[in-house]
Structure 1
Amino acid sequence: MLMFALMALMSSVLVYNSSKSVYAGDLNKLSWVTELKNVFIGSGDGEQTKDALEDEFIKFFPNFMWLLRDSTMSFEPTRDDDAGNDVLKDMDKGKNEGSLNQNFEKDVDVFIARCGALMKPKKAWPYVGNINGHQFTKMLEQYMSVFSETKSINVGAAVTCVITSLLQEVVEMTFKDYCNAMDSYAKASLPCDNYEIIEKHNRCMYTAMKTFKDNAKYVNDAESLEKYRNTLKEKMVQYSDGDLTGGYLDNILKENEKKSEEKKKKTSEQILAMKESEDKAIRDSVVADIDDQKEQLETDFQERSGATQIQMETLRSTHDALVTELKIVLDKMNEEKKKKQEELTRKQKELMQLS
């Protein structure tokens, strides 16, 4: 019974396959369909009335088709088994000859067409629309888990599982797109003014919420939608008493603050380095000027010292010449004085002799 219930819950079309004529046993087996109500718990709290459960069961139950193989039904008066036997004989004859009865081939085509018309994407009724393979697997796992624990199938729990899976996927996908957009902006623009980051966040958040709405439009469970919409918002931004306290925006702003401090520190270091470089250049320039002036003074001193030495040699030569000339003059004067003294002495002697 539980396996039959699982097939009913997971299928879009349920085909009841029987062979040849309809017998009492075939009708008895159909009682399984009505007995499914005994293992079925709806999407509510399990306390629905009998009528409510039946209405919900009918809405959730897949399209039902009874396939009678190897038989035909005729509304013309015939003997009880003639028509069936004739068809069976024709089909067996056709098989022996390597071909099928043309009427049978048409009936098969009609059956396939009807199944195709009834087969639609599976829905997690009534809270979500068409589900994908991953969500279908989630719902199947939920049902199988219920099989191992109880004799009742809680469709509501399975549907909740599918809704949760769907909305979680939408939130993660949307949040990832938001993060990629913000990360690209941060990589290209940080550091910058905080208001620019907030403006970018507002644009990305608007896009994210629109994406969430588009991807979750098949979910008509307002409570779950609001819960996961708020979850997405909290992933992007969180406020407490009007102050930003968390979320991805807070992380970006903190990163911006960190990079701003790093930029200020780097700029200060660059300014200090430039100032030191300029001071060193000034010092080097002053030292170079002093060295040039010193070299010039030494050159001038050497030139002037050379000239002075030449002048001193000239003066010395002139002095020596003058001393030599003066010595000659003095010698002459001394010689004349000596001569005059001798002459004076001679004359005195002569006077003394005369007297």
Structure 2
Amino acid sequence: MASEVPMQAPICLVENNSGELVVSQKALRILTSITKPVVVVAIVGLYRTGKSYLLNRLAGRNKGFSLGSTIQSHTKGIWMWCIDHPTEPDYTIVLLDTEGLGDVEKGDSKNDSWIFALAILLSSTFVYNSMNTINHQALEEMQYVTELTERIKVKSSFNPDAEEDSANFVSFFPDFVWTVRDFALDLELDGQPITSDEYLENALKLSKGKNPKSQLTNHPRECIRKFFPNRKCFTFERPTYDKSLLSHLEDVHDSQLDPMFKHQADQFCFHIFSNAKPKTLSGGIKINGNRLGNLLEVYVETISGGDIPCLENAVLALAEIENSAAVQKATNHYVEQMVLKVDFPTETLQDLLNLHADCEKEAISIFMKDSFKDDMHYFQNELVEILENKKNEFICQNEEKSIKYCQSKLSHLSETLREAISRGTFSVPGGYNLFREEKEKILNNYDKIPRKGIKAGEVLQKFEEEMAVIEDSILKTDEALTDHEKTLKAEQIKRETAKKEQKLLEQQQMEMQQKMEAQKRSYEENIKQLKIKMEEERNQMMREQEMILNHKLKEQKKLIEEGFHDKAGEMKKEIEELQTNIETAQSQRSSWWPPILDTVGTGLMVLLPGAGKLLGLGIKGLGHAMS
């Protein structure tokens, strides 16, 4: 299968122009063309620590992200490389290589903090790359993680004077991978072999003591433990001990690499490909390349304006764009399918409405799948109104096709009759019966014509009204009939006309009823699919809350084991509040739907008034009936 976005080499995504971050429009066009969910792997770390080389390994290439061979930072800004996922064809991997942190030539650490924050905001797996060992110095270099609450806010109502609950960050922060390069120590603790993961967890243990130095030392450890519940560590030996090869690793063949390093690099790549998840937002909202590009623009624009990126505001801005696109996509699908399936004119209105119901159901499903955060149901109502109008347009088109077709057929069938009238063929004694015979032939032949459509009766009625004037004239002047016979014939014509008018009226009433029932079906389908979507969102929210609770419980247990009972006690209140919220939400599972239905249903009733007339149950009644 061909790649959705074939990229032979990386491209700069966010330019760093003297400390000012600017999104590259060329790179953005590539990113926003990706329709698949994206697995975003971002790597950060001090400059000249080999970050780019690891990403090139993930891309399956030696060359790609620029490595450089001097003491100067080589990558500037954020560079992107979109590649096919080697094991998940439904995903695209987006590799992000960031500018090296701590470059003395920059002179402004604030720029590093924003690069770090952007990497967190954009990624689903965040790789921190360091050298030699995870020690006090290495953790101090992770100062950027301690600044995250100053660089990112989750809620728009966030009080700048108060620190946000770490749970808010956990719900959208990426998985964390710490890679330690040129690691030369033995993985042992107290004389026992340990894994690299255990090595990381041991390094994150808090130092005892309440003095300022201990608190300063513990701060980055606490932040990593709070913000990143899913942590992984990889240690790497030197790629090669041949110094002449180290300066140009991009040209070094795998056979020239140290076997242990190659094994460790392969394990790292395997972990990323097997465990890295698609980028999602709180609520399980999957992010594709287009959505990621839109988020990036919002974040960079906010930073450039001197503000702090707010996830809630960014998601709402993204929802406006995506929901509008979802309405258009659903509308396009409906129109395309109706054009494909409807063969004008349909025999009955119900035939058309049945096709409409099928296409509408698909359109609503597309909207529900692609939309999110439509809390006021503005976009759903917009789609309902559009589809209702499109349906009426198809009904009008169906009627016009039927009218033209029937008029054409009647014109052809009555051509001989009209010529005979013009010649005076029926202006003779006995002409009336002869006229009736010819007219009946036309009516019988017209009746046999298939697929005349829903306006067949109406067109015929107009034809008969036109003929009625001529028929009445022929009847009055036919000398072969007595006055009594003429009276009887006239009464017969009136009865036949009244019967046909009644039949036509009944058909119109039936069609009106069918239209109202179609609106009722539209209402019920919207409510049904909305309920399924909201149930899924609710379940996802519950899963996220339970994940956060489990993370806090584990962290509390770890604090107790490490002897930090005061800190564990501080977490108790957070845990109890979270447990109460989860229990309250679970207890309200059966009662949360009807109030929402009141609001949504009222809006739909305005757009689909026929549904309200037929439902009879009322909005709340339907809510209970469907629950």
Which residue is 2:167 aligned to? 55
Matched letter for residue 122 of structure 2: M
> Is residue 12–residue 121 contact of structure 1 (8 Å, CA) maintained in 2?
yes
Quote how far apart the aligned CAs of 1:21 are.
Answer: 4.3
Deviations, residues 20-45 of structure 1 (Å, cap 9, x unaligned): 34565533331111211112121453
Whole-angstrom distance in 2 between the partners of 1:129 and 1:63: 17
Which residue is 2:379 aligned to? 228
Whole-angstrom distance in 2 between the partners of 1:89 and 1:10: 29
The 5 Å alignment of 1:294-313 reads none
Aligned to 1:145, which of 301, 306, 311?
A: 301
Whole-angstrom distance in 1 between the partners of 2:160 and 2:381: 30
- The answer to whether residue 345 in structure 2 is matched with residue 190 in structure 1 is yes
Whole-angstrom distance in 2 between the partners of 1:212 and 1:90: 54
> Is residue 191–residue 259 contact of structure 1 (8 Å, CA) maintained in 2?
no
Quote how far apart the aligned CAs of 1:130 are.
Answer: 2.3
- SS of structure 2 residue aligned to 1:66: strand
Whole-angstrom distance in 2 between the partners of 1:259 and 1:274: 25
Matched letter for residue 256 of structure 1: N
Which residue is 2:357 aligned to? 202
- SS of structure 2 residue aligned to 1:110: helix
Which residue is 1:101 aligned to? 258
Q: Which moved more, 1:104-113 or 1:11-20?
A: 104-113
- SS of structure 2 residue aligned to 1:251: helix
Whole-angstrom distance in 2 between the partners of 1:200 and 1:77: 73
Deviations, residues 34-83 of structure 1 (Å, cap 9, x unaligned): 211112121453359956542111232212222221122223899xxxxx
- The answer to whether residue 185 in structure 2 is matched with residue 73 in structure 1 is yes
- The answer to whether residue 176 in structure 2 is matched with residue 26 in structure 1 is no
Whole-angstrom distance in 2 between the partners of 1:196 and 1:104: 68
Quote how far apart the aligned CAs of 1:10 are.
Answer: 0.5
- The answer to whether residue 203 in structure 2 is matched with residue 91 in structure 1 is no
Deviations, residues 185-217 of structure 1 (Å, cap 9, x unaligned): 55x22265444433332232233324444x349
- SS of structure 1 residue aligned to 2:128: strand
Whole-angstrom distance in 2 between the partners of 1:77 and 1:196: 79
Whole-angstrom distance in 2 between the partners of 1:60 and 1:191: 52
- SS of structure 2 residue aligned to 1:64: strand
Quote how far apart the aligned CAs of 1:271 are.
Answer: 5.9
Quote how far apart the aligned CAs of 1:148 are.
Answer: 1.8
Residues 23 and 275 of structure 1: CA distance in aligned 2, closer, same or farther (over 3 Å): same
> Is residue 129–residue 179 contact of structure 2 (8 Å, CA) maintained in 1?
yes
Whole-angstrom distance in 2 between the partners of 1:112 and 1:55: 29
Whole-angstrom distance in 2 between the partners of 1:114 and 1:207: 38
Which residue is 2:330 aligned to? 174
Structure 1: unaligned runs, 5 residues or longer = 79-86, 238-246, 287-355
Residues 157 and 271 of structure 1: CA distance in aligned 2, closer, same or farther (over 3 Å): same
Matched letter for residue 68 of structure 1: V
Whole-angstrom distance in 1 between the partners of 2:185 and 2:309: 38
> Is residue 43–residue 159 contact of structure 1 (8 Å, CA) maintained in 2?
no
Deviations, residues 201-251 of structure 1 (Å, cap 9, x unaligned): 2232233324444x349x5x4626x443332222111xxxxxxxxx11122
Q: Which moved more, 1:96-105 or 1:192-201?
A: 96-105
> Is residue 181–residue 204 contact of structure 1 (8 Å, CA) maintained in 2?
yes
User: Which structure has the larger Rg over C-alpha atoms?
Assistant: 1
Residues 18 and 59 of structure 1: CA distance in aligned 2, closer, same or farther (over 3 Å): same
Deviations, residues 256-282 of structure 1 (Å, cap 9, x unaligned): 344455456545654664333334677
Deviations, residues 89-137 of structure 1 (Å, cap 9, x unaligned): 98248959983333323322233333334422111x1134322211211
Which residue is 2:291 aligned to? 135
Which residue is 1:313 aligned to? none
- The answer to whether residue 312 in structure 2 is matched with residue 156 in structure 1 is yes
Which residue is 1:4 aligned to? 116
Q: Count residues in correspondence.
A: 261
Which residue is 2:157 aligned to? 45
Whole-angstrom distance in 1 between the partners of 2:348 and 2:320: 38
Whole-angstrom distance in 1 between the partners of 2:181 and 2:279: 27
CA RMSD of aligned residues (A): 3.7
> Is residue 299–residue 314 contact of structure 2 (8 Å, CA) maintained in 1?
yes
Q: 1 or 2, which has the higher helix percentage? A: 1
Q: TM-score by structure 2 length?
A: 0.36
Residues 100 and 191 of structure 1: CA distance in aligned 2, closer, same or farther (over 3 Å): closer
> Is residue 346–residue 352 contact of structure 2 (8 Å, CA) maintained in 1?
no
